[in-house]
Each structure stands twice: as structure tokens, then as C-alpha cells.
Amino acid sequence: AELAELTGIPVVTTLMARGAFPDSHRQNLGMPGMHGTVSAVAALQRGDLLIALGTRFDDRVTGKLDSFAPDAKVIHADIDPAEIGKNR
């Protein structure tokens, strides 16, 4: 929460990350993807920088991969090297 609060950036959390950032926090836009919120999906699609920590970019999050976050640079950190690069 500290990084988000210091920078003012919005936060989107996947289903597996629920609880890692408070749902009640004013910067929490909710979950992305087919089961997510419109504001979370819009933030990902319109963003110019995505900082993804431990995120699995599966099809429920990205939808059609070739049109996912088309203008965004992605910083992706994950403990599993197999997950890196799945967003493009």
C-alpha cells in the first residue's frame, strides 16, 4: 500500500491477490478481466505503465492477448520465470 499511496497510482488486484491490498482503499479499482470491474479493465487497457508483481497474465485477465494494454510498458516481477513475458 505504501508504494501506491506515495505515487497515487491506482491498484488492480487479481483473484489470487485479493486481500494483499485493501478492497476499501480509495486507490483499489478491483479485479481485472472477465469477472472484474469496468474501472480495473479500463485502467489496464488505457495505462502507459503496468507494474505487475506476482501476476499471472492468463486469458481471464488479458482477454485477447494481441489487444491487451496496447500502449503500456510492462514491468513484471514474479518468482516463477515461466510467467514472465506472457503478457505479449
Helix ranges restricted to H, the chain? 2-7, 38-46, 59-62
Per-residue pLDDT of the chain (88 residues; tens, 9 = 90+): 899 999 999 999 998 899 999 999 999 999 998 889 999 999 999 999 999 998 888 888 888 888 999 999 999 999 888 888 777 6
Taking the model in full, what pTM does it have? 0.85
What the chain holds in terms of domains, given with CATH numbers, is 2-83 (3.40.50.1220)
Q: Return d(Cα 60, Cα 49) in angstroms, integer.
A: 20
